[in-house]
Amino acid sequence: QVQLVESGGGLVQPGGSLRLSCAVSGATLDHVVIGWFRQGPGKEYEGVSCISTSGRIFYADSVKGRSRLSRDNNNNTVLLQLNSLQPEDTGVYYCAAGDYYSDYGVPPGVFHSWGQGTQVTVSS
Protein backbone atom coordinates (compact mmCIF):
# COMPACT_ATOMS: atom_id res chain seq x y z
CA GLN A 1 0.00 0.00 0.00
CA VAL A 2 1.14 3.51 -0.77
CA GLN A 3 1.41 5.73 2.28
CA LEU A 4 1.99 9.46 2.35
CA VAL A 5 3.07 11.62 5.26
CA GLU A 6 2.79 15.38 4.97
CA SER A 7 4.56 18.09 6.90
CA GLY A 8 5.49 21.75 6.65
CA GLY A 9 2.22 23.54 7.27
CA GLY A 10 1.84 26.36 9.73
CA LEU A 11 0.87 29.96 10.30
CA VAL A 12 2.39 32.65 8.10
CA GLN A 13 1.69 36.30 7.40
CA PRO A 14 0.56 37.47 3.96
CA GLY A 15 3.53 37.50 1.64
CA GLY A 16 5.25 34.70 3.47
CA SER A 17 6.36 31.29 2.25
CA LEU A 18 6.05 27.67 3.23
CA ARG A 19 7.55 24.46 1.97
CA LEU A 20 5.28 21.45 2.22
CA SER A 21 6.70 17.95 2.14
CA CYS A 22 5.11 14.67 1.12
CA ALA A 23 7.09 11.59 2.08
CA VAL A 24 5.99 8.58 0.04
CA SER A 25 6.40 4.93 0.96
CA GLY A 26 5.23 1.80 -0.81
CA ALA A 27 6.08 3.14 -4.26
CA THR A 28 8.92 5.03 -5.85
CA LEU A 29 8.27 8.35 -7.51
CA ASP A 30 8.98 6.97 -10.97
CA HIS A 31 5.99 4.64 -10.54
CA VAL A 32 3.32 6.88 -9.03
CA VAL A 33 1.82 10.28 -9.79
CA ILE A 34 1.79 12.70 -6.86
CA GLY A 35 -0.76 15.46 -6.58
CA TRP A 36 -1.34 18.28 -4.12
CA PHE A 37 -4.82 19.45 -3.15
CA ARG A 38 -6.27 21.95 -0.75
CA GLN A 39 -9.60 22.69 0.85
CA GLY A 40 -10.35 26.01 2.47
CA PRO A 41 -13.23 26.63 4.86
CA GLY A 42 -16.50 26.09 3.03
CA LYS A 43 -14.72 25.37 -0.25
CA GLU A 44 -14.45 22.37 -2.51
CA TYR A 45 -11.27 20.43 -3.00
CA GLU A 46 -8.94 22.20 -5.39
CA GLY A 47 -6.17 20.51 -7.29
CA VAL A 48 -3.07 22.63 -6.77
CA SER A 49 -0.21 20.86 -8.48
CA CYS A 50 0.84 17.48 -9.80
CA ILE A 51 4.00 15.72 -10.93
CA SER A 52 4.12 12.75 -13.25
CA THR A 53 6.33 9.69 -13.03
CA SER A 54 8.67 11.28 -15.57
CA GLY A 55 8.78 14.69 -13.87
CA ARG A 56 6.21 16.69 -15.80
CA ILE A 57 4.49 19.28 -13.60
CA PHE A 58 1.11 20.95 -13.60
CA TYR A 59 0.21 24.09 -11.65
CA ALA A 60 -3.26 25.45 -11.09
CA ASP A 61 -3.78 29.05 -12.17
CA SER A 62 -4.31 30.04 -8.55
CA VAL A 63 -0.70 29.19 -7.65
CA LYS A 64 1.12 29.40 -10.97
CA GLY A 65 4.10 31.71 -10.84
CA ARG A 66 4.47 31.61 -7.08
CA SER A 67 4.86 27.92 -6.42
CA ARG A 68 7.32 25.22 -7.30
CA LEU A 69 6.86 21.49 -7.19
CA SER A 70 9.93 19.30 -7.01
CA ARG A 71 10.94 15.82 -5.99
CA ASP A 72 13.78 14.37 -4.00
CA ASN A 73 14.21 10.94 -5.50
CA ASN A 74 16.80 9.84 -2.96
CA ASN A 75 14.34 10.41 -0.13
CA ASN A 76 11.23 9.56 -2.13
CA THR A 77 9.72 12.91 -1.19
CA VAL A 78 7.76 15.50 -3.15
CA LEU A 79 8.10 19.14 -2.12
CA LEU A 80 5.71 22.01 -2.73
CA GLN A 81 7.19 25.46 -2.26
CA LEU A 82 4.54 28.14 -1.80
CA ASN A 83 5.52 31.80 -2.01
CA SER A 84 3.66 35.09 -1.74
CA LEU A 85 0.98 33.44 0.33
CA GLN A 86 -2.32 35.23 0.74
CA PRO A 87 -5.30 34.65 3.05
CA GLU A 88 -7.18 32.87 0.28
CA ASP A 89 -4.46 30.22 0.31
CA THR A 90 -5.59 29.16 3.78
CA GLY A 91 -6.76 25.57 4.02
CA VAL A 92 -5.82 21.98 4.61
CA TYR A 93 -3.30 20.78 2.07
CA TYR A 94 -3.22 17.12 1.08
CA CYS A 95 -0.90 15.09 -1.06
CA ALA A 96 -2.13 12.02 -2.87
CA ALA A 97 -0.85 9.21 -5.07
CA GLY A 98 -2.44 8.01 -8.28
CA ASP A 99 -1.84 6.51 -11.68
CA TYR A 100 -2.80 9.31 -14.08
CA TYR A 101 -1.28 12.68 -14.91
CA SER A 102 -2.84 15.50 -16.91
CA ASP A 103 -1.48 18.79 -18.22
CA TYR A 104 -4.89 20.36 -17.60
CA GLY A 105 -5.81 19.67 -14.00
CA VAL A 106 -5.65 17.49 -10.92
CA PRO A 107 -8.97 15.65 -10.48
CA PRO A 108 -9.24 14.07 -7.02
CA GLY A 109 -11.05 10.98 -8.30
CA VAL A 110 -7.98 9.50 -10.00
CA PHE A 111 -5.89 9.45 -6.82
CA HIS A 112 -6.14 6.31 -4.70
CA SER A 113 -4.01 7.09 -1.65
CA TRP A 114 -4.11 10.21 0.48
CA GLY A 115 -2.09 11.78 3.22
CA GLN A 116 -3.49 13.09 6.46
CA GLY A 117 -3.33 16.74 5.46
CA THR A 118 -1.40 19.68 6.86
CA GLN A 119 -2.94 22.99 7.86
CA VAL A 120 -1.81 26.19 6.18
CA THR A 121 -3.06 29.43 7.69
CA VAL A 122 -2.24 32.81 6.17
CA SER A 123 -3.22 35.67 8.43
CA SER A 124 -1.87 39.00 9.55
Would you mind telling me the total number of residues written for the chain in this entry?
124
Instruction: Determine phi and psi for 34, rounding to 5 degrees.
Output: -115, 125
pLDDT tens for 50-96 read: 999 999 999 999 999 999 999 999 999 999 999 999 999 999 999 99
CA 10 centroid distance within chain: 15
- 20 CB neighbour count, 10 Å cutoff: 24
Contacts of 75 (CB under 8 A, 6+ apart): 23
pLDDT tens for 5-41 read: 999 999 999 999 999 999 999 999 999 999 999 999 9
pLDDT at 119: 98
Residue 68 CA neighbour count, 13 Å, CB half: 8
Which amino acid is present at 108?
A: P
pLDDT at 10: 98
Q: Cα(78)–Cα(29) distance, rounded to whole angstroms?
A: 8
Mean pLDDT of 106-120: 96
